[in-house]
Structure 1
Amino acid sequence: MNSRLSVRAKVALYGALCLLALPFVFPTWWMVTSSVKPVGDIFAFPPSLIPTEASLSAYRRVFELQPFAQQYFNSGYIAAVVTIGTLAVSSLAGYAFARIRFRGQQVLFVVVLVGLLIPSEVTIVPLFRMFNSWGMVDTHWPLILVPILGAPSVLATFIMRQFFITLPAELEEAARVDGLGRFATFWRIALPLARPALGAVAIFTFLHSWNLYLEPIVFLSTPEKFTLPQALTQFVDAYGGPMWDVQLSAASMTAIPILVIFVIAQRQFIEGLAHTGLKG
């Protein structure tokens, strides 16, 4: 009897979860299916879940109207470099704030956290003037340096600090007994144990860089140097109106890989964030 109740409870739970997931799944499904529909069928009411006439012509036009392959590569390599740089900076800074005691440590950490409270729109003008004086406007350097040294890295530093605080102090004491220095202890003991936190930081940093919009439209003006969010705004007709089928095709190619990565790595992401609030 209990087993039957258990089965019924699971069926009811999964059914409820499927219903709750519909508002989140439907927009993505509509985007992908509409990208292969004729333009006249995209906004048909009621919307059709399965296209009656599927065509991939809009996907071909994406690459004809814009250097989309180059723009895709731009977003990919910038996101990869930003992720690696953020992991390096945040792991070192997080370990220092968690394990190294120095005068003014707490005050400095609060000052760093204040960076999360400053909107990017407030700093974009002085940043533009600074990079313009360095001759870096219309290059990818601002899109790499600003996230690594800005708010995304501050949040990553906070996550890494919270994780390193949870590590037993006995590990460092054993490392010192074995003759390891501070950096060797970090590199050989603390960092390998921080894989869940590193995974969480890597995922949200990559997503943030991949979806970055404000900085590209401010710093970039050459289509071959555009990133994907900026490129999506360029698919318009001669009158400035949106080319819906082409835009949806480009958006699908932009979003689907990220959704796949997140689904695959979501356990690592949740596990890493779960460790950040245990202590400290």
Structure 2
Amino acid sequence: MSRDLSPRTKLVLYGVLLVLAIPFVFPTWWMVTSSLKPVSDIFAFPPQLLPVHPRLDAYQRVFELQPFGRQYLNSLYIALVVTVGTLAVSALSGYAFARIRFRGQNVLFLVVLAGLLIPSEVTIVPLFQMFFKLGLIDTHWPLILVPILGAPSVLATFIMRQFFISLPGELEEAARVDGLGRFATFWKIALPLSRPALGAVAIFTFLHSWNLYLEPIVFLSSPEKFTLPQALTQFVDAYGGPMWNVQLAAASMTALPVLVVFVLAQKQFVEGLAHTGLKG
């Protein structure tokens, strides 16, 4: 359709889109550029869109004040483990709900979906008590197990179920004729075809784990075990005030993987959602 537009119409359209993008792009621009400024220039009036004298000392102080490299690796490996675990659980459970018929199937699925209606703040106290009795407080196990078995996995299961429902039944019938069992059909036929849905699940699961804040501040107390959202709150001066340029430098490095994932995988994310929740 865009090929039928005149050059003037395209120019106007791109101009409108550019103006609409400013409220979304400007906060990121301000965060990155302010991390290169001294504190006195961050709140200067009129605002400085570019640092007059760029300096990188704030980025150096990030690693001096906190074990930021270790905290970065903590968030990265936790997000990767949670993503892989959620993909495994949601793919298997989504396929079971979509293809295996058993008594009470729909009721059980509604019970599972009800987990999305329970705020995480409601369950955090009993979860803390459970992990405390297991001796897992101040470890990364709660940050791994809770997302894989909690609400993010429920949403992922729903997406995978909707995708598997949309697959033609003739594919499974052909697989059974060839002698494949239930799991072999899932592994060799259904799972390879579900790459768009798996891509969407992987993206929002990684981002959810990367940005997780409540659970880390409840379960972790050692700075070397902190994740990035929790670590960002620790850059304060002797009086408890925020060290703005240091916080913004740490936030810029924290946002980098999110921006990379968004830029590289936004098409996959949209296609995955288009192939899932709108069908079945």
Q: Please, what TM-score do these two structures have when normalized by structure 2?
A: 0.98
Spell out, residue by residue over 1:49-93, the C-alpha distance to the aligned partner (whole angstroms, 9 max, x if none). Answer: 111010000000000000000000000000000000000000000
The CA distance in 2 between the partners of 1:41 and 1:20, in whole Å, is: 27
1:225 aligns with 2:231: no
The answer to whether 1:109 aligns with 2:130 is no
Q: Which residue of 2 aligns with 1:63?
A: 63
Whether the 8 Å contact between 1:166 and 1:278 is mirrored in structure 2 is: no
Q: Look up the match of 2:260.
A: 260
Q: Report what 2:200 is aligned to.
A: 200
| Aligned residue runs from structure 1 range 48-127, under 5 A | 48-127=48-127
2:168 corresponds to 1:168: yes
Q: Which amino acid aligns with 1:23?
A: P
1:5 offset after TM fit, Å?
A: 5.1
| Residue of structure 2 in register with 1:189 after alignment | 189
SS of residue matched to 2:90: helix
> 2-side partners of 1:65 and 1:279: how far apart?
51
> Aligned partner of 1:61: which letter?
R
- Shift of the alpha carbon at 1:143? 0.1
Which residue identity lines up with residue 147 of structure 1 in the other structure?
Answer: P
- Of 207-216 and 4-13, more deviation after overlay is shown by 4-13
Structure 2 matches for 1:18-29, cutoff 5 A? 18-29=18-29
CA offset at residue 278 of structure 1? 3.2
Shift of 1:130: 0.1
d(CA) in 2 for partners of 1:272, 1:259? 19
Count of aligned residue pairs for this structure pair: 279
Residues 173-200 of structure 1 deviation map (CA, whole Å, 9 limit, x = unaligned): 0000000000000000100000000000
Distance of aligned partners of 1:4 and 1:268 in 2 relative to their CA distance in 1, 3 Å threshold: closer
Question: Contact between 1:83 and 1:205, CA under 8 Å: does it hold in 2?
Answer: yes
Q: Is the 8 A contact 1:98 1:161 kept in 2?
A: yes
Superposed, which structure 2 residues align to 1:40-51 within 5 Å? 40-51=40-51
Distance (Å, rounded) in 2 between the aligned partners of 1:115 and 1:277: 18
Moved segments of 4+, more than 3 Å: none
Letter in 2 for 1:269: F
Taking the aligned partners of 2:181 and 2:50, their CA distance within structure 1 comes to: 62
Report what 1:130 is aligned to: 130
Within 1, Cα distance between the matches of 2:237 and 2:177? 70
**Aligned-residue CA RMSD (Å):** 1.2
Q: Decide whether the 8 Å contact of 1:147 with 1:209 is kept in 2.
A: yes
Stretches of structure 2 that go unaligned for 5 or more consecutive residues are: none
Query: What amino acid is aligned across from residue 274 of structure 1 in structure 2?
Result: A
Compared with structure 1, are the counterparts of its residues 4 and 183 closer, same or farther at alpha carbon in structure 2 (3 Å cutoff)?
closer
Contact residue 138 and residue 221 of structure 1 kept, 8 A: yes
Aligned residues with identical type, % of pairs:
82
Q: Which amino acid aligns with 1:16?
A: V
Output the CA distance in 2 between the equivalents of 1:278 and 1:5.
Answer: 30
Q: What SS class does the counterpart of residue 275 from structure 2 fall into?
A: helix
Q: CA deviation at 1:11?
A: 1.4
SS at match of 2:47: coil
Secondary structure of 2:44 counterpart: coil
Letter matched to residue 196 of structure 2: P
C-alpha offsets along residues 220-249 of structure 1, whole Å, 9 cap, x if unaligned? 000000000000000000000000000000
Distance 2:224 2:200 in 1: 31
The CA distance in 2 between the partners of 1:124 and 1:167, in whole Å, is: 38
Mapped to 1, the partners of 2:43 and 2:199 lie a distance apart of: 39
Distance 1:95 1:170 in 2: 16
Q: Give the partner amino acid of 2:213.
A: Y
Which residue number in structure 2 is paired with residue 245 of structure 1?
245
Q: CA deviation at 1:47?
A: 1.4
Shift of residue 4 of structure 1?
Answer: 9.0
What TM-score do the two structures reach when normalised by structure 1? 0.98
Structure 2 equivalent of residue 147 of structure 1? 147
